[in-house]
Chain A
Amino acid sequence: MSKRADAAPTAALGALLVEALRVTYRLPGGRGGTVPALRGISLTLPPNRILGLLGPNGAGKTTLIQTLLGFVKPSAGTVQIFGAAAGSRAARARLGYLPELPLFYPYLTGRELLDFNGRLFGLAPRVRRARAADLLERVGLTPAADRRLAAYSRGMLQRIGLAQALINNPDLVILDEPTSGLDPLGRLEVRRLISDLKTDGKTILFSSHELSEVELVCDQVAILSAGRLLRHGNPTDWQQPGESLEQLFVREIQADRAGNAA
C-alpha cells in the first residue's frame, strides 16, 4: 500500500510511528537563523518489515535516524518506537543501531567489543558470552574474534558493527549505510544477514545510497528530499512497467526539484 507523504499515518501502533515530525537546526553563529532539516514527516512501520530510507545527500536521512535514536530532539511532532518515546530507555532497550562508518575502539578485540556492548544492556556474563559467540559466527568473524579491532579491515568493522547492533536481540534494527565500503561478497553477506533478521521477526530500517541493495531486501521504501517525505510504501505500487528502483528514485527527486523550482 502506498500513500503520499502528506497523508496522516494510521493510528495503529507499529514498530515505528512518526507523526508530523519537524526538526529545525539553529545556524552556527548565534544570530537566530534556522534551517529546517525535517519538514513534517509522518510514517509508520509495522513489525517484521524492512524499510529502506532513500534520499540524496542532505535529504535528512541521518537526521531522521538520529531523531529515532533520541540524539536529536524534534522541534515538533512525535516519534514512538513500539509505543515508547524515541530516546527513552524503554525504546533504546529494543533498538539495535549500526552507524555509518563505524570506527570502534581499536584497542578492543571483536569479542571484547560485543561483551562491552552486552554489559551496557545489563546482560549476564554467561548470556553475553553465548550471544557474542553466536553473533561472531553469524557475521563470519569467529576466526578474528580475539584480534584487536585496529587490525580489522573496513568490511570486518562493518560486520562487527552489525554484531554489536544485535547483541541485545533487538526488535528494531537501524542500519545507517550498512553496505558502504563493502566488496560485492561483503554486500551479499550483509543482505543475507538482513534477510535472516527478518526471518527472525525483526523490524529493520536502513538507509542506503545503493538502490539495488534496497530493491533486493526491502518491503517498503521511504524517499526523502530536502527534509520532506516524498513517498512511503511498497515501491512496486509506483514503479512503471520495467522501471527499476533507481529510475523511480531519480524520477521522484527530479519531479520534486522541478516542483520546488516552479
Chain B
Amino acid sequence: MRAAGAIACQVWRELYRRKDIYVLFILLGALLLTLVSGDIFGVAGAGRYVLEAGLLLAWAFSLILLIATTARQLPTEEERGTIYPLLAKPLTRAEYLLGKWFGCWAAIWAATALFYLLSAGVVWGQGGAVGLPELLQAFLLHGLLLAWLGAATLALSTRCSTAATMALAWIGLAVSGLVAPAVPTVVAQAPAVSRELLLALYYALPHAALFDLRVRAVHQWGAAPAGAIALTAAYGLCWTLFFLLLAWLGYRRKRFKPTT
C-alpha cells in the first residue's frame, strides 16, 4: 500500500503542476463574478441561481478534469516507456492501478472542494443564503460519482488509447446520466420482451443522476435522510469496487509491446 501511496502522490503532483485546475478555478471565479456584477441580487432569492450556475460549472469542470486526467494515466506511461522502470520495482500491478485511481480521484475531489467553496463563497459574499448540510451532502455524493467514474475510466484505459478512453467515458456518462433515468418512461410504452430487456439494462447501468444533489442544495430543501445518503454511498462504493476489479482484470496480465 505504501507503493500505491507513492504512485498517488506522484499523480497528485502531476495534476497540480499542469495548472489545468488553476485555469478552471480562475474561469469559474470570473464567470461567477460576472454573474453577481449584474446586480441580480437586487431580486429576492436570486443568489440561489448563482449557486446553481457555480455548482453546474463545478460538476462540468470536475468531470472534464477527472476523465481527461484518468484516461491519460496508463497510456501515457506506456508511450513514454516509464511503465518499465516502474514495474521493475517491487510494486504489484494492483498497487499501481490503485495508486493511479486514488491519486486522480483525491486530486480532483480536492479541486472540486475548491470549486464548491468558491461558488458558495461568492453567494455568501453577496449576502445570499447557502444550506450547509445540503451542500455537504451534495459534495459527498459528487465525490462518490467521481470515484466510480474514475474507476470506470481507468478500466477502459487498460485496453484503449487516451482518446478512445475519453470518448467512451463521456458516452458512458451520458448514457448513465441522461438515458438511464428515461428508461422507466420508455418501459411503460414498450412491448413485453423489450420491457424486460430495458429493465435489465436499467438495473445493470450505474445511475449518475442518483449522485446529483445540486437542486436540493440550491433550493435549500433540507438535508436528505441519512439512510438514503448511506445507501447511495454504498451503491457508489459497489460500482467503484466493480470497476476497479475490471481494471485489474484488464491489466494484470497485460503485455506491453516489446521490441525483439
A residues in contact (CB < 8 Å) with B: 25, 37, 58-60, 62-63, 66, 69-72, 89, 92-93, 95, 97-105, 107-108, 112, 116-117, 119-122, 161, 164-165, 168, 174, 227
Contact stretch, chosen from B33-41, B77-85, B203-211: B77-85
Q: Is the CB of B18 within 8 A of A107?
A: yes
Given A108-B13, A120-B89, A122-B3, decide whether A63 and B258 contact each other with a Cβ distance below 8 A: yes
A108 and B6 CA atoms in complex are apart in Å by 13
Min CB distance A168 to B, Å, is 8
A236 and B169 CA atoms in complex are apart in Å by 59
Given A107-B17, A119-B3, A122-B2, decide whether A97 and B84 contact each other with a Cβ distance below 8 A: yes
- Sample 27 A-B pairs with CB under 8 A, ordered by A number: A25-B260, A63-B260, A70-B87, A71-B256, A71-B258, A72-B255, A89-B92, A92-B90, A97-B85, A98-B85, A99-B81, A102-B81, A102-B82, A103-B80, A104-B80, A105-B80, A107-B13, A108-B13, A112-B13, A116-B9, A116-B10, A119-B3, A119-B9, A120-B7, A122-B3, A161-B85, A168-B89
A3 and B78 CA atoms in complex are apart in Å by 38
Q: Is the CB of B84 within 8 A of A69?
A: yes
Query: Contacts of A95 on B, CB cut-off 8 Å?
Result: 88
Query: Contacts of B82 on A, CB cut-off 8 Å?
Result: 102-105
B196 contacts partner chain A, Cβ-Cβ < 8 Å: no
Query: Contacts of A59 on B, CB cut-off 8 Å?
Result: 260
Q: Is the CB of A99 within 8 A of B85?
A: yes
Q: Is the CB of B81 within 8 A of A62?
A: no
Query: Contacts of A66 on B, CB cut-off 8 Å?
Result: 84, 256, 258
Residue of A93, A117, A119 with highest tally of chain B CB at under 10 A: A119
Q: Is the CB of A227 within 8 A of B85?
A: no
Query: Contacts of A71 on B, CB cut-off 8 Å?
Result: 84, 87-88, 255-256, 258
Chain B residue, CB-CB nearest to A96:
B88
The secondary structure that dominates the B interface is helix
Of residues 207 through 260 on chain B, the ones whose CB sits less than 8 Å from some CB of chain A are 255-256, 258-260
Q: Out of A37, A93, A122, which one reaches B260, CB within 8 Å?
A: A37
Interface size, chain B (Cβ < 8 Å): 28
A119 and B14 CA atoms in complex are apart in Å by 16
B residues in contact (CB < 8 Å) with A: 2-3, 5-7, 9-10, 13-14, 17-18, 80-82, 84-92, 255-256, 258-260
Q: Out of A99, A100, A119, A165, which one reaches B2, CB within 8 Å?
A: A119
Min CB distance B104 to A, Å, is 15
Q: Is the CB of A69 within 8 A of B258?
A: no
Given A37-B260, A72-B258, decide whether A99 and B14 contact each other with a Cβ distance below 8 A: no
Given A105-B10, A107-B17, decide whether A58 and B89 contact each other with a Cβ distance below 8 A: no
Query: Contacts of B81 on A, CB cut-off 8 Å?
Result: 99-103
Min CB distance A54 to B, Å, is 14
Chain A residue, CB-CB nearest to B255:
A72
Chain A residue, CB-CB nearest to B16:
A107
Q: Is the CB of A69 within 8 A of B88?
A: yes
